[in-house]
Chain A
Amino acid sequence: MESYSREKEIVLKIDKISKHFGGLKAVDGISFDLRNKEILAVIGPNGAGKTTTFNLISGVLPLTSGQIYFKDTEITNIQPNKRCKMGIGRTFQIMQLFDDMSVLDNITTGAIFGHANRSLKEAKKKAEEICERLHLTEYKDYDSSELPLAHRKRLEIARAYATGPEILLLDEIMEGLNMVEAKEMVDLIKSIRDEGISVISIDHVMHTVKEMADWVIVVNYGQMLTQGTYNEVVNSPEVIEAYLGKEEED
């Protein structure tokens, strides 16, 4: 049986957050926390409220209720650009690259504005380094719209990584990747974690969750169903019921 200790500093604390769209409770009182140097996977059926939770953490959407703490600071009402500068970077479920920019400029944009006082020259140098590290150097002068899918996904990560995050939110980054590309992506995410960046990853691809997640939370109908290590959650009766439905009694 695997063992994972969560005796580490809490870097993000989500406290009973809710988001209601009229009568629809997209997120309904979810609480969890993210520990330092941890990969936390968020799984759940479509429409469970996973991406909405990301939008609340990154500040794209305002909360209906609840609080969010980044380390010891409450960030519930802080603007998204300020949250980014504090150290929260993210990618998007439907890729949102700056298509009018080159690959290098996409990364440079993250490197400039994710930091309070980084000069353009420093940002460009940082972007070149990140390009190299994420194997994008060959494409750096091309428009981002010209990249193949796996490289576009890498570019999304590269731009978020360039903001210098302490927490990285990855929204379905494995979606559409083949086995080889997914393996490379897992290795990349693990190496980012090993640098000291905590990662929350929304994922539907269970073998990648198994391979990289230190901790897994399962959400359904906007609520937290359960949490634990990969083996603990996949064997949980509530999770099996959420994904496969309840077996009828004879």
Chain B
Amino acid sequence: MRTPAHLLWIYRAYVLIFFLYLVAPLVAAGAFAFNDSLFPALPWQGFTLDWFFSPNEPKLGLFHDDRLLRGLGNSVFIGVIVAVLSVIAGTCNAFLFVRKDFPFKSVLYILMVVPLVIPGVILGISILVFASMIANFADRELGLLLTWLRPGIPLVLLGQFSFLTTITSLVIAARLQKFDVSIEEAAFNLGASGLRVLMTITLPFLAPAMFSAFVVAFLVSFENFNTTLMLVGSDAPLTVTMYDRMVKVGSTPVLNAVSVVLMLGSGILALISVLAQRERTSP
């Protein structure tokens, strides 16, 4: 049954409106970073890059704003570390669930997926509470001051790691499942050691998936707010710094400039991960 032409056009219009709805707030957040005005609002006062590069008040640009820059630095620092850790753990989990058999495997598999469906706020408070319980215990019974278990970057790392590992595990396990075990067997038959096979055959095969898992983990960490907010100390990452500014100072175009940087950064990274994936589907 063919769809009549006018219905098809209505359908297309609907999809078009939907995509306009998707991009509208992003365009709004981005565009006003370039408006030569003290407020992110119409009318358009002309194009400027002051909100990025201007060194003095009242239009203090993003790249001269120490607190925002420190937030950016913290975000990158946290993102890289947590992405590396979660890719390592995710690779172990992938081997565990794809290659090994053990009792209660399906229950443990569900446990592995669960962190994705626990609300981020709850992950944050539960890790905060648990870390404080340990720290209080150590303080009271052993006289140890475990400051890294108090809100701060180490706790943010643990909090983000707790759910990013699920994502990296799923991505890497999907790739490992496609691996043809007979290649490994051939290498073993030719006398290669287990470690050698792992380093020269299996891990190179997994490398594209590990790379895109790293990019995704970094991105999600960079954007994360809910879990991070509960665990953050004095060294806030960029999203928390931006939120703070928004609530305390109100919206100024420098926040639009931050938005542009965030969108550009994640856009480029997403593109890299898509390209990496493209290469792996058409070798």
A and B interact? no
- Which positions in B face A, CB cutoff 8 Å? none
- Which positions in A face B, CB cutoff 8 Å? none
